[in-house]
Amino acid sequence: MKDIEELFLPDDVRYTETHEWVRDDDGSVLIGINDYAQDQLGDIVFVELPEVGAIFEKGEEFGTLESVKAVSEINMPVSGEVIAVNEALEQTPELINQEPYNDGWIIEVRLDDPDEMQTLMSSSEYLEMLKGEG
Amino acid sequence: MRYLPHTEDDINSMLDAVGAEHMDDLFSMIPAGCKMEGSLDLPEAMTEWELNTFMDGLSVKMATSPSYKIFVGAGSYNHYIPESISYLLGRSEFSTAYTPYQPEISQGTLQAIYEYQTLVTRLLGMEVANASMYDGASALAEALLMAIRITKRRRVAISRLIHPYFRDAIRTYLTPGNYEIVELPYLENGRTDITGVADMENLAAVAIQSPNFLGCMEDLSSVEKPVHETGALFVLSFTEPLAYGLFKNPGCQGADIACGEAQSFGIPQSFGGPCLGMFSCRMKHVRNMPGRLVGKTTDVDGRPGFVLTLATREQHIRREKATSNICTNNSLCALASAMYMASVGGTGIRELASLNRDKAEYLKRGLRDAGLKIPFASPTFNEFVVEFGKGFKDTYAALFKKRIVAGIPLAGWYPELSGHYLLCVTETTGREDMDALIEEVQS
């Protein structure tokens, strides 16, 4: 597994305490799991995606990731409606391991409240949190 | 696997390590009122000779085959068990108290389970089967919970011709979760009336048993369409899997989940247990399937091997978020049924199923010719209903004294069927016994 210093934590996304990322994409947001989460889970073999049109509250579970080691819930970083899911993950779930911030995105969401983005962490704040945990 | 108990010294050193004085200290969190004081209320111990005499005395009081001629099935069936099965099953590699799942040391057990799963999928025409469950009733209740998980709906419709004990188990499983259970009535021909499902909203599953509790084969191919049109899963239950040696399997008739009791396959009736829950479904639902699953894979050197698969969804890893509360299987019974299926073979199962059906038809015809009414017209396998009439109780008791058990009365479960009896005939039933029964009931 990677050392904390080796993690790739880009500055153009916001982070949650439960290791998801959110990227503002002109009115809607893309959501995925970050480099730390994919590294901890190991090889991801199955992704359970929500239905397009489903509405979730911030913090609610919207899907599951199954790796060779564990099954984990993915939580909503913000409240909103799912407007797209990454269907490529059904056949190639390993995209999350390979490209967690790009091709490995999981869902696209229309935000209920754009200000909610401000409640999430920047990459440096997230890094501090991880160091605190370690 | 050997069980090595601790010595007194071992126990004392462990108590020292955790800072406890007596073993009882470890149970101090249990309230006093919940603990039993004193010793168990048991009679004095007997010698081995006394015990044998005592047990012999108990066993002569029971009506068991072959000293009694028993025409009863109703979920538990008397079939010949090839001698090879008891020999193989008694091998110490198999008959451990616990199923060893570690692939490093348990390739034999894991392969045996894998073979069982393969045979189950072939018999039922399904895509994937689990490593088995406790019995047919709990397998069916788990199937309904699985349909509820998949469809995210809260209502199930179950045929009234599903075994009454199975329906009890369903209520036990589903009631605490506030799921709604609707019972589907039956038609004059002895089959389930499914016309009502079209108007039922929010249905997660429709469950049908075939052969059903009246012995009738359900018309599964005509059930599939109306069930799937509601968006529900089609769950097929059974108590006599041997029927699928002769009749079309559930898989080719659109069942999404096929599960049931497989005691028929190499497991003695022994007072109704242990049983064997067979469970199978479509591959697209595999991640929602309860129970354990053995898969075939290759090791780092490319050699084939067997290993538990999808275990990350199970209780020991996922705790309260597990797919199901079932985290074990009924391995020895599953093994017995795998040995049975392999011993009898595909052609053998077909022949055996024909024999069961033909013998049952012989008795059915004989009783009909003797003037008795066979009220349900649908095709049957090795069980069928006879209307002996309301005054039959005395005859039934008289026959019992002659060591003939003339079926099982249905009125206790179906009040509208008073005077109706469910009779069973298997390959173990002799022609003379059937002729004797026919003669007794017509006189």
Give the pLDDT confidence score for residue B316 in this predicted structure: 72
CATH 2.40.160.60, applies to A14-111:
no
> Which residue in chain B has the smallest CA separation from A70?
B312
Sign of the dihedral defined by the CA atoms of residues B343, B278, B186, B282, in that order? negative
Query: Closest by alpha carbon to B414, among B186, B79, B177?
Result: B186
Tens digit of each residue's pLDDT (9 = 90 or more) over A57-106? 999 999 999 998 888 999 999 999 999 999 999 999 999 999 999 999 99
Pick B312's closest partner by Cβ from A48, A66, A73: A66
Q: How far is A69 from chain B (nearest CA, A)?
A: 7
Q: Give the ipTM of the model, two decimals please.
A: 0.73
Residue pair B323/B316 in contact by the 8 Å Cβ criterion? no
Q: How far is B313 from chain A (nearest CA, A)?
A: 6
Pick B317's closest partner by Cβ from A48, A70, A73: A70
Q: For chain A, which residues make up each domain, given as ranges?
A: 14-111
Give the pLDDT confidence score for residue B99 in this predicted structure: 66
Measured in degrees and rounded to the nearest 5, phi and psi for residue B40 equal -65, 145
pLDDT band at A27 (very low <50, low <70, confident <90, very high): confident
Give the pLDDT confidence score for residue B3 in this predicted structure: 65
Query: Closest by alpha carbon to B74, among B422, B316, B436?
Result: B422
Apex B74 CA angle, B68 and B76, nearest 5: 70
Q: How far apart are CA A111 and CA B37, in angstroms?
A: 63
> Which residue in chain A has the smallest CA separation from B286?
A46
Give the type of residue at B196.
G
Q: For chain B, which residues make up each domain, given as ranges?
A: 69-81+345-442, 84-340
Element (DSSP H or E) covering residue A92: none
Give the pLDDT confidence score for residue B1 in this predicted structure: 47
> Which residue in chain B has the smallest CA separation from A69?
B312
10-residue averages of pLDDT along chain B (443 residues): 77 94 90 87 93 92 85 96 92 74 87 96 98 96 96 96 98 96 98 96 97 97 95 98 97 97 95 92 94 92 92 75 79 95 96 98 97 97 96 94 96 97 97 96 80
CATH 3.30.56.10, applies to B84-340:
no
Q: How many CA atoms lie within 13 A of B47 on its CB side?
A: 2
Pick B312's closest partner by Cβ from A48, A69, A73: A69
A73/B313 Cβ within 8 A: no
Give the pLDDT confidence score for residue B298 in this predicted structure: 93
Q: How far apart are CA B255 and CA B279, in angstroms?
A: 12
Q: How far is A33 from chain B (nearest CA, A)?
A: 19
What is B221-259 written as a DSSP string? HHHHHHHHHTT-EEEEEES-GGGGGTSPPSGGGT-SEEE
pTM for this prediction: 0.86
- B chain contacts of residue A73, beta-carbon cutoff 8 Å: 321
Give the pLDDT confidence score for residue B2 in this predicted structure: 58
Q: Which CATH architecture has domain B69-81+345-442?
A: Alpha-Beta Complex (3.90)
Q: What is the DSSP letter of A53?
A: T
Across the A:B interface, residue pairs with CB atoms under 8 Å apart total: 17
A70 touches chain B (CB under 8 A): yes
A69/B313 Cβ within 8 A: no
